[in-house]
Structure 1
Amino acid sequence: MRYAEFTYYDLLVLLQGLGVSVALFLATTVIGLGVGLAWAMLRYYRTPVLAPLAAAVAELLKNSPVLVQLFLVFFGLPVLLGADLTPVEAALITLSGNTAAFVYVIAASSIESVGRDQIETARVFGLSRWQTLRRVVAPQAAAFGFGPLTGLLINQLQVTSLISVIGVIDLTKVGAILNVRTLQPFIVWTVIGVLYYLMARLIARVCARFETRLRAHSQWKGL
């Protein structure tokens, strides 16, 4: 039985779906940032075996469709591990890995954008590789990379809409449910689209503030 009218319960379901989308986005962003930066450090230190392996994994993840990755993790990984994965766990693994791949590319490019003369000068003054990274390279690389990172985060927010295909009751899945129940697609998908837009604008605004502060302190003032 279908009810064409919207109810108060629909708002609660919509908020629940929004909460799931936001929670997964935040979790995968934190994990992806951590893993991606760790991969970039492997490249910075030119770690044998691990650095090329991280680069190869990142290349594979960033150049393959997220939906295919999602299906491989959800349907294929349990076969390899011999254990079931919930839709949320599969989404967490997939989106974290995909985010990490792009964070790795952004971090590696940002590190390489720092002038070699500054790095050489830091070494002349006796700074270790770690001290050079922390005091010279990292502040400037962060300022260089924050713009691309903002674009990545907004894109990854949109990508979370794909997880509905494996049964995660996120914002998009709730939209599909409400669409079937109310038979009012224009209203339902307009609301869903506006919510994604507002979240994207919030991310852009927060990142813009952080970027402004970073750039204000990123100029290398010497050792």
Structure 2
Amino acid sequence: MSSNEFVPYDLIVLLSGISVSLKVFLVSSLFGGLLGLGLALFRHYRFPLLSQLSVFVSEFLKNSPVLVQLFLIYFGLPIFLSMDMSAELAATITLTGNTAAFVSVIIVTAMAAVDKGQIEAARSFGISEMVILKKIITPQALLVAIAPLVGLAVNQLQVTSLVSVIGVMDITKVGAILNQRTWQPFIVWPVIGLTYFAMSMAISKLGRKLELYLRKHQTWSLA
């Protein structure tokens, strides 16, 4: 069999690459979302020092190349901490921070979009800030934030392709290896591209369903 022919094992390798890409994406999205929420709350409630720090961190990560962040974490953090770090862990940490930066901006913007009159009215009745956040701000801000958050998720999925640069065996790295072995770029790269497309469309479809569900079941009260 010629080395430039595809073999059944290539499918297994491709599926392995997809699983790595999804793992990095899902883990970084989860922790990035939680970290982004924390940064957003610091900014919204203007906690001393923490608010300014969250703005700086968000703006730096949002406005610097992801590839530079990836190199900084992969090559710099192990030296700074005197520890070994796998490429996959470095990729996950990098995308977690990058995701958090964008999530924080989206959430802050969504919270600011909530009618201030409702919030002031609740405060005038002595309602606590925690109850206002839970009962008034969150339900309405979530509807504003859901569409840009879904768009961010699609973008971050595609950004995971950069992790192949540091050796993570994601779908892009697998594609590069298959292309190098088979020299059939017009087969390999369309397949890789269509795989990303399919995953992105799945995220978008789930996002639309979630948005419709939230709009249909939107209820909020101070009871």
TM-score by length of 1: 0.96
Task: Assess, with a 3 A threshold, how the Cα gap between structure 1 residues 63 and 2 changes in structure 2: closer, same or farther.
Answer: farther
Task: Assess, with a 3 A threshold, how the Cα gap between structure 1 residues 2 and 159 changes in structure 2: closer, same or farther.
Answer: farther
Q: CA deviation at 1:77?
A: 1.2
Once the two structures are superposed, residues 5-25 of structure 1 have per-residue CA deviations (whole angstroms, 9 ceiling, x without a partner) of 100000000000000001111
Contact 1:153 1:203 in 2 (8 A): yes
**How do 1:161-176 and structure 2 match up within 5 A?**
161-176=161-176
Give the 3-state SS of the residue equivalent to 2:6 in structure 1. coil
Partners of 2:45 and 2:62 in 1: how far apart?
A: 22
Q: CA deviation at 1:219?
A: 5.9
**How do 1:28-43 and structure 2 match up within 5 A?**
28-43=28-43
Q: CA deviation at 1:84?
A: 2.0
Contact 1:27 1:92 in 2 (8 A): yes
Q: CA deviation at 1:107?
A: 0.3
Is 1:46 the counterpart of 2:46 in the alignment?
Answer: yes
**How do 1:41-190 and structure 2 match up within 5 A?**
41-190=41-190
The residue type paired with residue 167 of structure 1 is G
Contact 1:139 1:217 in 2 (8 A): no
Q: CA deviation at 1:211?
A: 0.8
Task: Assess, with a 3 A threshold, how the Cα gap between structure 1 residues 89 and 193 changes in structure 2: closer, same or farther.
Answer: same
| Count of paired positions | 223
Contact 1:2 1:181 in 2 (8 A): no
Percent sequence identity is: 52
Q: CA deviation at 1:70?
A: 0.3
Contact 1:158 1:196 in 2 (8 A): yes
RMSD: 1.4
The residue type paired with residue 85 of structure 1 is M
Is 1:19 the counterpart of 2:22 in the alignment?
Answer: no
Once the two structures are superposed, residues 52-81 of structure 1 have per-residue CA deviations (whole angstroms, 9 ceiling, x without a partner) of 101110000000000000001111111211
Contact 2:3 2:182 in 1 (8 A): yes
Contact 1:62 1:101 in 2 (8 A): yes
Contact 1:58 1:101 in 2 (8 A): yes
Partners of 2:211 and 2:126 in 1: how far apart?
A: 30
1:10 alignment counterpart: 10
Task: Assess, with a 3 A threshold, how the Cα gap between structure 1 residues 2 and 76 changes in structure 2: closer, same or farther.
Answer: farther
Structure 1 runs, 4 residues or longer, greater than 6 Å off: none
- Please, which moves more after superposition, 115-124 or 134-143? 115-124
Once the two structures are superposed, residues 87-116 of structure 1 have per-residue CA deviations (whole angstroms, 9 ceiling, x without a partner) of 011001100000000000000000000010
**How do 1:177-216 and structure 2 match up within 5 A?**
177-216=177-216
TM-score by length of 2: 0.96
Partners of 1:79 and 1:145 in 2: how far apart?
A: 38
- Please, which moves more after superposition, 41-50 or 103-112? 41-50
Give the 3-state SS of the residue equivalent to 1:168 in structure 2. coil
